Amino acid sequence: MAFDNLENVLNKYAKAYTQKFKAKLKSDRTNASGRLVNSIKPEMLENGFAILGKRYIEQISEGRKKGKMPPWSPRDNSILNWVKTKNIVPRNGSSSLGNMKRLAFVIARSIGRRGTIARFGYRGTNIIDFVHKELGQQMGEEIFAAYKIDLEKILNKQIKKT
């Protein structure tokens, strides 16, 4: 490829973003089941890269504002799955399916009234902004430098041909 240096920098930062997202989720303790951390992967595109992951990373990053209860279905409920993953047991100590569904409903109702993640002030963790601020400027500078080197090589080849 004519833009080898640029490609190398993009690969470097695709890996760096992936690692930074995973590390931040772990340090924030927002990786209950590990599914989100395990879903984060880089994808190289023709004109850059993307970081792929479960869609609910947006909910973790931005939070869910109070005022509206999250979607609720006793059959297919991500909150119920989260409760089970975190080994949260109702106060009465019974972890029957009915009690677990009621507990998940109470949590969903609380999210609707307060928002998500109490330790973050019922707001999100801002993980997306945090990671971008950590890596964005340096990445931009390195991309510019690599692109400059690649363009100079291409121009030098063209000049030698003429």
* Model confidence pTM above 0.95: no
Whether the predicted pLDDT of 1 surpasses 60: no
Whole-number Å distance between alpha carbons of 52 and 132: 15
Whole-number Å distance between alpha carbons of 14 and 115: 32
Q: How far is CA 99 from CA 25, 32, 71, in A?
A: 29, 21, 19
**The pLDDT value given to residue 153:** 92
| C-alpha closest to that of 41 among 15, 60, 61 | 15
Which has the higher per-residue pLDDT, 12 or 159?
A: 12
pLDDT tens per residue, range 23-42: 999 999 888 888 899 999 99
pLDDT tens per residue, range 90-149: 888 788 888 888 888 888 898 888 888 888 888 889 999 999 999 999 999 999 999 999
